[in-house]
């Protein structure tokens, strides 16, 4: 398990999937804002491709996020779009509603940076998020990410177009935290 100051990132367990599906993806608003595709209901017990981990897939590494105090499941995190030639990847995360607003997002981003830069030897990490996602913007900027641009009206979310913000961080700019 990778450890931050508040969270741990560990392998996805089978028992994590129903909790993550119910709390993150069954809600139309949350699911629509988190995915790049239209929300759709998933049949209980089906193999949800958003949550089932394929350990052979080279371009994505998915984690379950747990609290260090007590080990409670609080979300999901991933490096995705991993490009080994250009040594870059994207960061994504989703916290359960009960875990939001406690600083976990900043810690998750810090741990993903450690994984990307130290463990994987990547040169660049990127975050793409909706312009009104202040929690993700704050978590990214608290870890040194720089706003690189805005994709105007690029995301179709619940009946309207929304702007997306692109943030980037290079390995030489990264300042690791003490425990991440």
Confidence bin at 177 (pLDDT 50/70/90):
confident
Question: d(Cα 174, Cα 169) in Å, to the nearest integer?
Answer: 7
Question: What percentage of the chain exceeds 90 in pLDDT?
Answer: 73
- Sketch the domain layout of the chain as residue ranges: 2-173
Read off the pLDDT band of 94 (50, 70, 90): very high
User: What superfamily would CATH give domain 2-173?
Assistant: Gcn5-related N-acetyltransferase (GNAT) (3.40.630.30)
| CB of 167 closer than 8 Å to CB of 127 | yes
pLDDT above 90: residue 71: yes
C-alpha–C-alpha distance, residues 108 and 32, integer Å: 22
Strand, helix or coil for residue 136: helix
Phi-psi region of 174 (alpha: psi -120 to 50; beta: other; left: phi over 0): beta
Mean pLDDT of the chain: 91
Task: Specify the DSSP class assigned to residue 35.
Answer: -
- Interior angle at CA 90, CA 86 and CA 95, nearest 5: 165
- Is 46 a residue whose pLDDT tops 80? no
């Amino acid at each position: 398990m990778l450890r931050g100051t508040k969270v741990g990132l560990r392998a996805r367990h089978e028992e994590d999937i129903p909790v993550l599906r119910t709390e993150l993806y069954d809600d139309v608003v949350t699911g629509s804002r988190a995915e790049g595709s239209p929300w759709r209901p998933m049949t209980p017990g089906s193999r949800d491709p958003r949550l089932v981990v394929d350990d052979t897939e080279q371009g994505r590494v998915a984690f379950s996020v747990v609290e260090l105090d007590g080990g409670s499941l609080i979300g999901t995190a991933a490096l995705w779009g991993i490009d080994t030639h250009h040594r870059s990847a994207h960061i994504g995360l989703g916290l359960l509603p009960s875990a939001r607003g406690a600083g976990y997002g900043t810690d998750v981003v810090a741990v993903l940076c450690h994984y990307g830069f130290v463990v994987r030897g990547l040169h660049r990490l990127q975050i793409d998020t909706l312009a009104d996602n202040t929690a993700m913007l704050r978590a990214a900027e608290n870890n040194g990410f720089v706003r690189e641009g805005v994709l105007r009206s690029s995301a179709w979310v619940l009946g309207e177009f929304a702007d997306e913000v692109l943030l980037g961080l290079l390995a030489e700019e990264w300042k690791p935290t003490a425990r991440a």
